[in-house]
Amino acid sequence: MKLACQEGMAPGNTLQEKLDNLAQYGYEGIEFWGAQFLDTDNGGMRKERVTEVVRLTQSHTVKPSTICAGYRGALLDAERRSREQAVQDIETLLYAAGEMGAVGVIVVPIFGGPRINDLTPYMTAVELETELLCKLLDPLGKVAEKAGSHILLEPLNRYETHYMNRLEQAVSICQRVGGSHLKLMADFFHMSIEERDIPAAIRGAKDYLAHVHLADSTRLLPGYGHTDFRSGFAALKDIGFANYMALECGIPGDPREELPRCAQYLRAQMP
């Protein structure tokens, strides 16, 4: 298990400064917001930004862990153009992740409520969404394989999306679509709301879990809430998880003090 931090949380005026600070604080990875790698004016990838990340990280101890969303549109939008935009951007980000050596791209199928009409008794909105999502993920998974990266489905809590709230739901999508480059990620904040037993949920996702987000129950840094990270980390060890766990949360203080303290706290919870 390797500790990572989102770029926006790391202190520093340049990427080089952020990388150096994270290394000093005890982190091994950095997670990037996806929008910075998209050329929204001309379409395609912002190659200069990808090249910069590769140049600065290839000989650094802190490596790119993941790309967190940042794409336009939504895979489960009712509007075709929105779906096509999401697919196009995700494909671009998958190639960016592959070039940087990151694990993959975090994908949330939709935020909020359903945008597709309920067609009961034919299909409910959620059933239609599942059929659509599987149709879209199949070719995207092939793109991920070609790019040398992964799609990382992220279940969110019920207050952020109506669709895919628990790890087992993401597992079922991965099993149905198939392919070795469609995986999922687990977020301790969302799990603290949706999972009855976090360690059991992690163990149940062992064949598909490829990334983790860290935040306490308060959505602040771990240690500022009541989440039992020790049992969750024990479950991650049991399934042989060796990838990145990236901070995605608020910092209640000076990051130059809080981030190193958090790294020490997290390592103390590891078995």
Give the C-alpha separation, 213 to 247, whole Å: 6
Q: Which of 28, 91, 195, 248 is catalytic?
A: 248
Amino acid present at 257? E
Q: What is the DSSP letter of 150?
A: E
Give the C-alpha separation, 127 to 116, whole Å: 10
Give the C-alpha separation, 155 to 173, whole Å: 11
**Whether residue 79 lies in the annotated active site:** no
Looking from the CA of 198 toward its CB, the CA atoms found within 13 Å total: 22
Strand 29-33 relative to strand 63-68: parallel, antiparallel, unpaired?
A: parallel
| Token pair in block for residue 163 | 């669709």
Is residue 147 within 8 A of residue 98, CB to CB? The reply is: yes
Q: Which of 28, 154, 194, 195 is catalytic?
A: 154
Rounded (10°) CA dihedral 93, 111, 173, 88: -30
Positions of E strands within the chain? 2-6, 29-33, 63-68, 104-107, 150-153, 182-187, 209-214, 244-247
**Whether residue 248 lies in the annotated active site:** yes
Is residue 195 within 8 A of residue 230, CB to CB? The reply is: no
Give the C-alpha separation, 228 to 224, whole Å: 11
Strand 104-107 relative to strand 63-68: parallel, antiparallel, unpaired?
A: parallel
Give the C-alpha separation, 186 to 197, whole Å: 13
Would you please indicate which residues are annotated as catalytic (active-site) residues? Answer: 154, 248
